[in-house]
Structure 1
Amino acid sequence: MGAYIPVFTVRDVRESETDSQCSPDLAPVISEAPVSARQVHLPQLFHNPKIFIFAFAIALYSVLLVVLTYLFVRSPTAAQNHDRNNILWQTLLSSTRTTYIVPPDAGFNLIEDLTHHPVSLANYIQGNYAQAPLSQFDGHSAEDLRTHEFTDFVDMQILTSLMRLSEYNSQRLLLRFPRDLRLDDLRNSNAVILGSVCSNPWASLADSNTNFHIVCSEDMLSSSIVNRSPLPGEQPIYVSEWNQPTHTTYALIRLVPNLSGDGHLLLLEGLDIAGTQAAAEALLHSAAIDKVLQHARRHDGSLSSFEILLRATSIESNATGAEIIATRIH
């Protein structure tokens, strides 16, 4: 009984030989041979420079993104700064007590400017400013100025920024116009008071317990920051040349106890609208504030009262280049 023995031989094929040079008889065998998708497309990828560069860039970007994310998350400084900012906003916005946001009274400030006479908090609460003669206006316009609740756009931007904070609690935060605020509101509640005493008389509540405070001139033509106890290198008074299109302006950030001592009042005050804007920008976005908050933080995690004096440049009533020039921690 016969048998067949298979014999295998190696065919000599030159390296330069291409598929087009193969024998026509072999073409069907080559085309029908099972080949994976990777074997077909991978050579095409690496032989196309544009596709290769694009793929390499995507891969490099992905690696960098992962590395940077890891470094940021692992960075102790980033975590500490985040914690320090959180303690301020957690204290003011997400505590169990109510927090009032109190914007400036622009109409009241205009009445002061027109009458060239500043009004104290006591007279403001009593509404005496509404009796001031406004001969510059007709009766209807004067009545609007006395009774309507006007504020400025910059402080509404600040309010919007506060509402974007993760600590913002809509159930605990109330917007209250200064004419509607009462002393009892500030006994057991927190408050964020925007604007200086010249446009928001409630800011004067902090003056008796702080080193820095804003004073309006008797004719309402200027205002200044008084430094009760200047340290070496500090000035006793800081004045803004507000009537120049570009000028240096100053601002205060003050955190003080509320009227009962169990809550906090945060005041953002400028010698002009650009100053108030500089105070808010520094508090919300500047890393320089982190050092102050770090020193103000007690061992139990709560915050001591503090004061921050800022200098900025006002360009057409827009603040830029805010910097801290003095601090106090109580």
Structure 2
Amino acid sequence: MSYVSRMAILERLEEINEQHIGVVVFGRSPDYDSAADSIVRSHATRLRQKLEQYFRAEGSNESLRIDIPRGGYVPRFYKAESSVPEMLPLDVDQAPAEQSIAVDTGASQSVEVEKPTSAFKRIFGSKSLIVAFSVLLTLVIVVLLFLVRRHLSKDAEMADGRAGVHQTPIERRFWQTLLPTTGKTIIVSGDSSLTLFETVTNHEVSLEDYIDGAYRTPEYFKGLNSEIPPAIAIDIASRRYTSFVDEELTQNLTHLPEWTPAHVSNVFAQDLKPADAAASNLILIGSRQTNPWISLVEPPLNFVLVPDGMRGFQFLNRHPRDGEPKIYAYKNESGDFGEGNVYADIAYLPNPEGRGLVLILSGMWISSTQAAGQFILDSSQFSGWLQSIARPDGTIPPFELLLATKSLQGNATYTSIVAKRVMSASANLHK
């Protein structure tokens, strides 16, 4: 809010568009794909809602109102007595009597908005007063954002308004560790086009080839024994697809009270840089087949997703305990609610570089990845698990959870823990 208001007051409307906001406010790279990364749109929607809520309640006595019309990101300033929000009139000294400017919103069309600073010039009359007012407005915005944040981050007394869950103290401790106010955390969404490429070519891409993009070149294809034409395979590999579950889970994570845009970002798997992966906390969503970065932390894991020989996947139990099977595969159980049992893995362990933490949310189907995300955001389930493994000092050791869930029309239902591991601090010994 502070950024778009400041740009509007300074008449720099061309900088109030989705791509620019994503770079300046949320730390995205200048060439990021705003069509695939909806962080600006989702936060604009929530900001509009919170502004409306504020001026209906705590800010009902404010004489000057602010809103962000849908279809763009340029704020409007209007008088409280107006029954319908309208821009303040233009300076009477100006001609013509009405003036507008086209603003790029990042969508397929521009939006016509009135020039906001003309209203300020009419009211205050001089640049010095405009500057003073802009400073005052910035302070008002800071207070407004503080009130909104306070409203959103109620502790144990009420359910969190953004994530829709009630956070217990141990959950807050977990998320504060993974999403600290210092350092960097990166949420990495899976690459569904990679899975499609590996399926049609019957070839698994290594992390090295994925990072440098070698598998998307004709030269790489010469060494493959595949019946699919290279041009089609390369076209598939070049797509930027992620599942709706990855996107939904990413959005739910960004709603957590501990999430801050200055220290947490989300990227597509293709866009993660090795240097960032080594120096950041990571939340990796999807299987190794959609998110090759999981292979970096796979060696100490007990439950590993592997091909089942029928173009599907199953979980390998590397060190079975008494009563545990070696393989957790899809079960086609008739006469029960849902299609059958599918499995998901939640792993929490140190970054191999020793400079952060990694949370993996992985599933053999989309519905099981969904189950992993639902589990960590469900206080009734996740809090109990954390309390059962917490150390005396309250810290959470590295762990793995294997979940079973029923898949009904692609959605997770009836999720339960079927196997678990608590690891040593070095994440190389399973207890």
Rounded to whole Å, the distance in 1 between the matches of 2:215 and 2:372 is 28
Rounded to whole Å, the distance in 2 between the matches of 1:220 and 1:118 is 15
Alpha carbons 1:118, 1:216 under 8 Å: kept:
no
1:188 aligns with 2:279: yes
CA deviation string 1:29-83 (max 9, x = no partner): xxxxxxxxxxxxxxxxxxxxxxxxxxxxxxxxxxxxxxxxxxx959xxxxx9601
Q: Out of 172, 180, 204, which is 2:295 matched to? A: 204
Alpha carbons 1:198, 1:216 under 8 Å: kept:
no
CA deviation string 1:122-161 (max 9, x = no partner): 332232322448875795x655423232111111110111
SS in 2 for 1:246: coil
User: Normalising to structure 1: TM-score of the pair?
Assistant: 0.69
1:117 maps to what in 2? 203
Amino acid at match of 1:150: Y
Q: 1:150 to 1:81 in 2, by over 3 A?
A: closer
1:1-330 superposed matches below 5 A? 82-131=168-217, 132=221, 139=231, 144-217=235-308, 221-240=311-330, 246-330=339-423
User: Normalising to structure 2: TM-score of the pair?
Assistant: 0.54
Q: Which protein is richer in helix relative to its size?
A: 1
Alpha carbons 2:200, 2:233 under 8 Å: kept:
no
Amino acid at match of 2:407: S
Q: 1:203 to 1:322 in 2, by over 3 A?
A: same
Rounded to whole Å, the distance in 2 between the matches of 1:102 and 1:81 is 23
User: What is the CA-CA distance between 1:323 and the residue it aligns to?
Assistant: 0.4
Structure 2 gaps of 5+ residues are: 1-155, 159-165, 424-431
Runs of 4+ in 1 over 3 A off after TM superposition: 131-139, 141-144
Amino acid at match of 1:235: P
**Higher RCO (CA < 8 A, seq sep 6+):** 1
Alpha carbons 2:197, 2:233 under 8 Å: kept:
no
Rounded to whole Å, the distance in 2 between the matches of 1:157 and 1:174 is 15
Amino acid at match of 1:118: E
Structure 1 gaps of 5+ residues are: 1-71, 75-79
SS in 1 for 2:175: helix
Report the identity percentage.
Answer: 35
Q: 1:229 to 1:211 in 2, by over 3 A?
A: same
CA deviation string 1:170-223 (max 9, x = no partner): 111111211121322122210100001111111122221121111134x67021
Amino acid at match of 1:184: A
Rounded to whole Å, the distance in 2 between the matches of 1:163 and 1:247 is 31
Amino acid at match of 1:225: F
Alpha carbons 1:117, 1:220 under 8 Å: kept:
no
2:127 maps to what in 1? none
